[in-house]
With several copies, the nearest count.
Chain A
Amino acid sequence: MNEIFSLAGANLLSPIILSFALGVGAALARSDLAIPEAVAKGMSIYLLFAIGFKGGVAVSSHGVDATMILSLFAGLVLSFGLPLLAFSLLRIMTGMTNTDAAAVAAHYGSISIVTFVAGTSILEGRMIESEGYLVAVAAVMEAPAILSALWLVARGGGGKRMEPELLREIMLNGSIVLLVGAFVIGALTGEKGLAEISPFIVTPFKGVLCLFLLDMGLIAGRGLRNIRGVLGAGAIGFAILMPLLGSIIGLGAGLLVGLSLGGVVLLMVLSASASYIAVPAAMRVALPEANPAIYLTLSLGVTFPFNLTLGIPLYLAMAQVAMGV
């Protein structure tokens, strides 16, 4: 436990986390500091491209094996399954409508790629290796949760059916296409390709991540300013409990599949994290009656900072205990 807090402490003093904190602080103090939308989108494109590419390169030198296939499959199952757990918890812990609960559940089955990147960064800082293909697992986990959520609503008599157009949009969501595409490019060009562009996608990566997290902090902080009106204690409790449960399930899945320590931690991070890009956009189309303030505030205002600061160190410690390393 001590170790967790000292790791969390070290983690909290990294420029990445402090940049996030600066953003939150600036937003809470109502500073007019803002990152232009186009720049923020540009940075997220950079991050997705870099992380996908590096994952692909790792796979190209390592090759495809059974654990990889199993991990992808585990990702699918987790993304389909976690919303069911989230939905049940929400029905117990909060008074949300069916639709709101389903929408929130979709977010927690899906993933946050920035939380994943932060996890990778922390592992690297501690010299813990991980399987490169977890990037592909992340991509696989983005969308299925949305289908589960729609099923939950339909089952509840919401009369929702999946338009094929929406399904296409979800599967061809820009961030999924970019992540998977960069992964494939990395896998095809391998170390040679990486050598060509690593001064762009590897060396400055952490610095870009700082500015990106500054922006995430600004957005999360603005969300937190409105938290009182929107969320009760039950919902906030959910946004802390769900990642913990998710990480435990991810831990089990990772052990079953036979991932390395780093791989297990990243699968835990994926399970624990909640989407705030692909899923919200899909929800506005598929479940317009759901209140965006609820799912965005929970996902980005509570769960994201929790994972970034306490969660990831905790998941690492849990995995170390479970794997006896």
Chain B
Amino acid sequence: MQTHNAKRVEIVIEAPLEKRLTDALMQSGVTGYTVLPVLGGSGRSGQWSREGQIGRAGMVTVVCLIKPERLDTLLDAAFTVVSKHIGVVSITDAQVLRAERF
């Protein structure tokens, strides 16, 4: 089956920032994203778990598939939101079906 090159960007970020991040992504020309729940994790700012959260904000993972040429615009947009906050950004090479969608 015909597949097309794409980038898969995965951003782990605090839940209260989710809307700001996805708005920034959409503005940068992204056509879609998927938000996954996160149970817990650990990083520079320490360990946390969803059940141990006060106010239960926690974190989410936003996954975004895009055409490779759009990566830089996306990262710039994401970075304005992510930079000062708790979270990480990773990118993998991917293939997608139905390239016209991305």
Contact = CB atoms under 8 A, between A and B. Distances in A.
Nearest to A285: B16
A219 B58 CA distance: 13
B43 to A, nearest CB: 13
Contacts of A300: 54
Contacts of B85: 284, 288
Given A281-B16, A284-B14, A284-B17, A289 B84 contact: yes
Contacts of B52: 218-219, 222
A284 B84 CA distance: 10
Contacts, number: 48
B16 A219 contact: no
Interface residues of A, number: 26
A219 B84 contact: no
B20 A285 contact: yes
Contacts of B16: 281-282, 284-285
Contacts of B14: 284
Interface in A180-225: 218-219, 222-223
B50 A277 contact: no
Interface in A241-295: 276-278, 280-282, 284-285, 288-289, 291-293
Interface of B: 14, 16-17, 20, 45-46, 50-58, 84-86
Interface of A: 34-37, 40-41, 218-219, 222-223, 226, 276-278, 280-282, 284-285, 288-289, 291-293, 296, 300
